[in-house]
Amino acid sequence: MRYMLLIYNCDPPGPGEPGFEEALARINAFAEECRRRNAMVAGSKIQDESTATTVQVRDGRALITDGPFVETHEHLGGYYILECDTLDEALELATSCPFAELGAIEVRPLFAVPGVDNTPSAAVAHE
Amino acid sequence: MTAPLVERVYREHRARMLAALVRVLGDFELAEDSLQDACATALRRWPDTVPDDPVAWLLTVARNRALDRLRRAKLVREREPVAEATMTDFEAESSLAEVGDERLSLIFTCCHPALAMEARVALTLQAVVGLTAGQIARAFLVAEATLAQRLVRAKRKIRDARISLDVPADHLLPERLAGVLAVVYLIFTQGYTAEHDDAGLRREAIRLGKLVATLMPDEPEATGLVALLLLHDSRSVTRHTADGDVVLLADQDRARWNRAEIAEGVRLLDRALRHGTPGPYQLQAAIAAQHARATGTADTDWAAIAGLYAELLAVSPSPVVALNHAVAVAMADGPAAGLELVERIEGIERYHLLHATRADLLHRLGRPGEAAAAYRRAHELAANPADRRFLAGRLTALDGS
């Protein structure tokens, strides 16, 4: 089963900032552990809310607005998608993720609706 | 003949049958419904032929009913792997002995940290102990509809998020077992308050604790918890007056303490302590055993109790434990030594017993003005009517002296 790890309120040091090298090494070690367990499906940082655009189509017309759909104080900054046998395995990996020490990780199971085909395009590598 | 037989088999083996079905189906609601179906079928069929192994019969029928239900729900395509596993798992079984005891897995799943605490408690009471939603709702003073909703949500989360149906791996076991024991303890304490003195609920908590301790004989904290519950329970009839007023340990009629429970508690505690790893439950049980051994406060070994509280403070530090430690030190070494420790406690300024303890120690040190002020503060903070009556009584006695 696939689980999405939503990473909230976590602001690790960026390139050039103090502690960046150490943070990078730790997060790569986490990703390596996920790969070792054949769990890593995808993962990425999400650019912050100031870059968000929301689309809604009503009566055939697209309504495009600046900003995130849900205004909250919580900042969604990244995600992983992991393949795990049970929630327990996903929670164990989330516990070992360095981002959990800085912010919070919400673990949500994904669900493949029977008949819905979301096969990725062959030519597009997953970012 | 048939109805009582079906009922007896169900009553005696319900938890084991449910545990086995949950394990292979991965779905509590489906497991419960198919077990009910199987019992209904047994009521119709057993008059003609009673099976040699009623439990295996019920499990096989329940498995088939579960598959029927899955097909009817048109989920069979999606769930085929589960259904296949179910077939092979059960076809190999001819008796319950071979099904094995899955109750421990069931307990760990019910007490999973991904479920809310109140859901863990409710689910454990329903699935493992066998109480109905109505019984649980009454014991926890919540509306039955609320409780039923809580159970449904927990069961669906277990299925949909695929919460593990196994006993946790060794490296996770200490923390997860602590979670299971916390649920057992919470069920007991729910039946141990002045507003809700529920001997039935306490008995179920003790039974559940014994089941965990039996299934995990190498875990002394599980045995220690059972010892603690028995020792607490032995004093239950003397803790409150008929009107619900608090009776302090010093004033309890020890002749009415349940000696059989004390003997069993002490025996289990000794067995647990032999492992040489005293955790919080064993230490609390050891403290309760010290009280149980004494005929009154005068011949209580307060120095031993103060030592046990110091150990408890080391393994699970909390201001409430520090307060109890201070009380024991006051009994062993005098009120001045106790007061010194009480004054150093931080973080429970709004806990009425902190102020009641200060009041008592100040009173014993001959400082009535400060004692009265502390009793008044305790009275302000106490929420429970029985506690408030007790503190008001103390204040009146102090004013009168």
Task: Indicate if the pLDDT at residue A41 is higher than 60.
Answer: yes
Q: Which residues of B touch A114 (CB under 8 A)?
A: 77-78
Domains and CATH numbers, chain A: 2-125 (3.30.70.1060)
How high is the pLDDT of residue B77? 55
pLDDT tens, residue order, chain B (401 aa):
577 888 999 999 999 999 999 988 989 999 999 999 999 999 988 877 888 889 999 999 999 999 888 888 765 555 555 544 444 454 444 444 445 578 999 999 999 999 999 999 999 999 999 999 999 999 888 999 999 999 999 999 999 999 999 999 988 898 899 999 999 999 999 988 767 788 999 999 999 999 999 999 999 999 999 999 999 999 998 988 887 777 888 889 999 999 999 999 999 999 999 999 999 999 999 999 999 999 998 999 999 999 999 999 999 999 999 999 999 999 999 999 999 999 999 999 999 999 999 999 999 999 999 999 999 999 999 988 878 888 898 888 877 65
Q: Which residues of B touch A85 (CB under 8 A)?
A: 162
Per-residue pLDDT tens digits for A9-26: 998 898 999 999 999 999
How high is the pLDDT of residue A127? 47
How high is the pLDDT of residue B73? 79
How high is the pLDDT of residue A30? 97
Per-residue pLDDT tens digits for A72-100: 889 999 999 999 999 999 999 999 999 99
* Facing residue for A91 by CB, picked from B78, B114, B166: B114
How high is the pLDDT of residue B72? 82
Q: Which residues of B touch A87 (CB under 8 A)?
A: 114, 161-164
Per-residue pLDDT tens digits for A49-76: 989 999 999 999 999 999 899 888 899 9
Q: Which residues of B touch A91 (CB under 8 A)?
A: 114
How high is the pLDDT of residue B88? 47
Rounded to a whole number, what is the distance in Å from the CA of B128 to chain A's nearest CA? 21
Query: How many Cβ atoms from other residues are within 10 Å of residue B97's Cβ?
Result: 11
* Facing residue for B161 by CB, picked from A85, A87, A92: A87
How high is the pLDDT of residue B91? 47
Q: Which residues pair with A106 in a beta bridge?
A: A6
Smallest CA–CA distance from B26 into chain A, residue? A86
Say if A91 is an interface residue toward chain B (CB within 8 Å): yes
How high is the pLDDT of residue B94? 41
ipTM: 0.86
| Buried residues in B22-56 as b, exposed as e (16+ CB within 10 A) | bbbbbbbbbbbbbbebbbebbeeebeeeeeeebbb
Cβ-defined contact of A92 to B172 (cutoff 8 Å): yes
Identify the DSSP state of B171. Answer: G
Identify the DSSP state of B186. Answer: H
* Facing residue for A86 by CB, picked from B77, B160, B164: B164
Contact B234, B258 (CB under 8 A): yes
